[in-house]
Chains A and B, each alone.
Chain A
Amino acid sequence: MPESTVILDAMAIRRALARIAHEIAERNEVGAEVALIGIPVGGDHLALRLSKLLAEIWHQPVPVGILDVSMHRDDLDQRAAPKVYPTVIPFDVTGKTVVLVDDVLFSGRTTRAAMDALNDFGRPKKIQLAVLVDRGHRELPIKADFVGKNVPTAREEKISLCLTENGAERDEVVLLKK
Chain B
Amino acid sequence: MTDMAWNRKHLLDIESLTADEIVTVLDTARAFKAVGERAIKKVPALRGRTVVNLFVEPSTRTRISFELAEQRLSADIINFTAEASSLKKGETLKDTARNLEALNADFIVMRHSASGAPHFLARVLNASVINAGDGAHEHPTQALLDAFTIRERKGKIAGLNVTILGDILYSRVARSDIWALTKLGARVTLCGPSTLVPKTFEQMGCRVVHNMDEAIRDADIINLLRIQHERQRKTMFPSINEYTQLFGLNKARLAKTKPDALIMHPGPVNRGVEIDSEIADSSRSLILEQVTNGLAVRMAVLYLVNGGKGPQELTGN
Decide if B3 touches A83 in the complex (CB within 8 Å): yes
Stretch with Cβ within 8 A of B (4 or more), from A10-18, A44-52, A53-61, A100-108: A100-108
Which B residues from 216 to 242 make CB contacts under 8 A with A?
none
Q: What 0/1 pattern do residues 105 to 130 of B give for CB contact below 8 A with A?
A: 00000000000000000000000000
Binds B, one of A1-9, A23-31, A84-92, A140-148: A84-92
- With a cutoff of 8 Å between Cβ atoms, the chain A residues found around residue B27 in the complex are 83-84
Inter-subunit contact A80/B1 (CB<8 Å): no
Q: Is B307 an interface residue (CB 8 A)?
A: yes
Of B39-47, B58-66, B250-258, the stretch lying at the interface with chain A is B39-47
Q: Give the contacts of A56-101 with B (CB-CB under 8 A).
A: 68, 70-73, 75-87
Q: Tell which of B307, B311, B314, B317 touches A135, judged by Cβ atoms closer than 8 Å.
A: B317
Q: Is the CB of B38 within 8 A of A120?
A: yes
Q: How many A residues touch B, CB cutoff 8 Å?
A: 33
Q: Determine the chain B residues whose CB is within 8 A of the CB of A120 once the complex forms.
A: 38-40, 42-43
Q: Is A174 an interface residue (CB 8 A)?
A: no
Which residues of A sit under 8 angstroms from B314, Cβ to Cβ? 79
User: Which chain B residues numbered 158 to 197 have a C-beta less than 8 Å away from chain A?
Assistant: none
Q: How far is the CB of B157 from chain A (nearest CB, A)?
A: 19
Instruction: Check A84 against B303 for contact (C-beta < 8 Å).
Output: yes
| Cβ of B9 to closest chain A Cβ, rounded Å | 11
Residues 288-317 of B, flagged 1 when their CB comes within 8 A of A and 0 if not, give: 000000000000100110111011111111
Residues of B contacting A116 with CB < 8 Å?
Answer: 44
For A105, what are the chain B residues with a Cβ–Cβ distance below 8 Å?
A: 317
Q: Give the complex CA separation of A76 and B311 in angstroms.
A: 11
Flag if B304 contacts A68 (CB, 8 Å). Answer: no
Which residue of chain B has the shortest Cβ distance to A159 in the bound complex? B317
Whose C-beta in chain B lies nearest to the C-beta of A122? B39
In the bound complex, how far is the Cα of B316 from the Cα of A158, in angstroms? 7
When C-beta atoms are compared, the residue in chain A nearest to B312 turns out to be A80
Complex: A168 Cα to B23 Cα, angstroms: 24
| Interface residue B283 (Cβ < 8 Å from any Cβ of A) | no
Task: Give Cα A41–Cα B308 distance, bound, in whole angstroms.
Answer: 22
Across-interface contacts of A75 in B (CB, < 8 A): 315
- Which residue among A70, A71, A83, A109 has the maximum number of chain B CB atoms within 10 Å of its CB? A71
In the complex, the answer to whether A76 meets B307 with C-beta atoms within 8 Å is: yes
> Given A71-B44, A71-B303, A103-B317: A82 and B31 within 8 A (CB)?
no
By a CB distance below 8 angstroms, the chain A residues around B73 are 71
Query: In whole Å, how far is A139's beta carbon from the nearest beta carbon of chain B?
Result: 10
Nearest neighbor of A87 in chain B, beta-carbon distance: B34
Q: Mark A123-161, 1 if CB is under 8 A from B, else 0.
A: 000000000000100000000000000000000001100
Name the A residues within 8 Å of B303 (CB-CB). Answer: 71, 76, 81, 84
B6 within 8 A of A: yes
Give the total number of A-B pairs whose CB atoms are below 8 A apart: 102
Q: Please, how many angstroms separate the alpha-carbon atoms of A116 and B27 in the complex?
A: 23
Instruction: Verify A82–B3 contact, CB threshold 8 A.
Output: yes
* Contact between chains at B316 and A80 (CB < 8 Å): no
Q: Which residues of the partner chain A approach B310 to less than 8 Å between Cβ atoms?
A: 77-80
Count chain B CB atoms within 10 A of each CB in A68, A70, A72 and give the residue with the most: A70
Bound: A116/B300 CA distance, A:
20
User: Does B81 touch A at the CB level, under 8 Å?
Assistant: no
Within B250-292, the residues touching A (CB, 8 Å) are none
Q: Choose from A71, A86, A121 the contact partner of B30 (Cβ within 8 Å).
A: A86
**Min CB gap B299→A, angstroms:** 9
**B49 and A77 within 8 A (CB):** yes
List residues of chain A with CB within 8 A of the CB of B46: 76
Cβ contact within 8 Å between A106 and B7? no
Known: A71-B44, A86-B30, A87-B31. A81 touches B304 (CB 8 A): yes
Q: Considering the complex, give the chain A residue whose CB is closest to the CB of B299.
A: A71
Instruction: Give bound CA distance, A70 to B300, whole Å.
Output: 12
Q: Nearest CB to that of A74 among chain B residues? A: B44
A72 vs B31: C-alpha distance in the bound complex, in angstroms? 13
Whether, in the assembled complex, B35 has its beta carbon less than 8 Å from a beta carbon of chain A, the answer is yes
User: B28 interface residue, CB < 8 Å from A?
Assistant: yes
16 contacts between A and B (CB under 8 A): A72-B43, A75-B315, A77-B306, A77-B310, A79-B310, A79-B314, A79-B315, A81-B6, A81-B28, A81-B306, A82-B307, A84-B31, A84-B303, A86-B30, A86-B31, A117-B43
Known: A81-B6, A82-B1, A84-B303. 8 other contacts (CB 8 A): A70-B45, A71-B44, A78-B310, A80-B307, A83-B27, A84-B28, A120-B38, A159-B317
